[in-house]
Copies of this chain bind each other. A is one copy, B any other.
Amino acid sequence: MGLVAPLGESKKKGSARIEPLVALVLADMERVNALILSKAGSDVAMIPEVANHLISSGGKRLRPMLTLAAARMSGHHDDGHVKLAASVEFMHTATLLHDDVVDESELRRGKLAARMLWGNQASVLVGDFLLGQAFRMMVEVGSFDALDVLSAAATIIAEGEVMQLSAAKNMATTEDDYLAVIGAKTAALFAAAAEVGPIIAGRGRAERTAFRAYGDNLGLAFQLIDDALDYGGSSADLGKQVGDDFREGKITLPVILAYRRGSELERAFWQRALEKGEIVDGDLDRAIGYLRTHNAIEDTIERARQFGDLSRDALGIFPDSAYKAALLEVVDFCIERAY
């Protein structure tokens, strides 16, 4: 598919390319996982039930791994990075719980979404609880710079979600609008997760900026691939249903490209289906057909590759190390999910 793979890696499957990172942070990650379970605990029984349903559902925990690796690569030897990594995962989990309510999702990571089992109310409130616990852990770590970066991310993520809500069902959404949405709703947490690594290790501006750029561009690539997969892949691979974005009227890059490249007839189709929400049997297949005609999925993946290149380049200032190699390979992992 035109990907330039490192020598000897060409046959490694996409999913294997996260393994070096997993292996490097294994011991730290066990402590993160124990902390996550403990901090999701509460005397109010419904809280650990709802939280653990999602926590135990097999997410990759990519974001906290970024924090751990960035901290270790920056020479951190204390244990603040474990709490920061758990905070990052809680921020992500809280976002997922709230997203499911906002999107009226039925599935999450291949399981029934928490809201289908415990109701929207529990998803909203347990999300709030986890966000509160995330901040408490950050406060315990005692770094104002880390608090600053992560609390800013919390605001930006919410801003991105509202932006997405405002852009939904609006075919006038441009590629720039779309990049602003995914930059806020997804890349901001990747960027913060990576940046707190050098922060907790006491590193300076150059290292912080480098890790931040790595996370930011990785997050953009990750979300672009997610949005491409929403019109490809299978429900089992994704942990959600193909066509969710289509049914919810989300205007993602594949659609933006196909709409702009399409005929008047095609544009009328997108407007009916996504703006008016009038979807009939066969419409998802018709949409996927138009995306193929106009190379919209392939070009979305190509954009992801470009951000992946920026992400890799951001780590260029660091000397070679096992951590650096693992973080570079995670870029491939994020992109090759699309194959």
Contacts and interface: CB of A to CB of B under 8 A. Distances in A.
A126 B152 CA distance: 15
B44 A129 contact: no
A166 interface: yes
Contacts of A179: none
A174 interface: no
A144 interface: yes
Contacts of A166: 44-46
Contacts of A102: 120-121, 124-125
Question: Within the oligomer, what is the number of copies of this chain?
Answer: 2
Interface string A133-144: 101101100101
A121 B102 CA distance: 5
A132 interface: yes
A203 B219 CA distance: 44
A327 to B, nearest CB: 27
Nearest to A101: B124
Nearest to A152: B136
Contacts of A158: 125-126, 128-129, 131-132
A125 B47 contact: no
Given A98-B124, A124-B124, A132 B155 contact: yes
Contacts of A162: 42, 44, 46-47, 122, 125-126, 129
Given A46-B162, A46-B166, A120-B120, A129 B155 contact: yes
A151 interface: yes
A165 interface: yes
A310 interface: no
A165 B122 contact: yes
A42 B155 CA distance: 10
B159 A136 contact: no
Given A135-B154, A136-B152, A147-B147, A46 B165 contact: yes
Nearest to A161: B125
A97 to B, nearest CB: 10
A24 interface: no
Nearest to A39: B155
Contacts of A30: none
Nearest to A94: B128
A299 interface: no
Task: List the 6 closest pairs (A to B, CB-CB), nearest first.
Answer: A132-B155, A132-B154, A129-B158, A128-B158, A135-B151, A102-B121
12 contacts: A42-B162, A98-B124, A98-B128, A101-B120, A102-B124, A121-B165, A128-B131, A128-B157, A129-B158, A136-B148, A138-B151, A139-B148
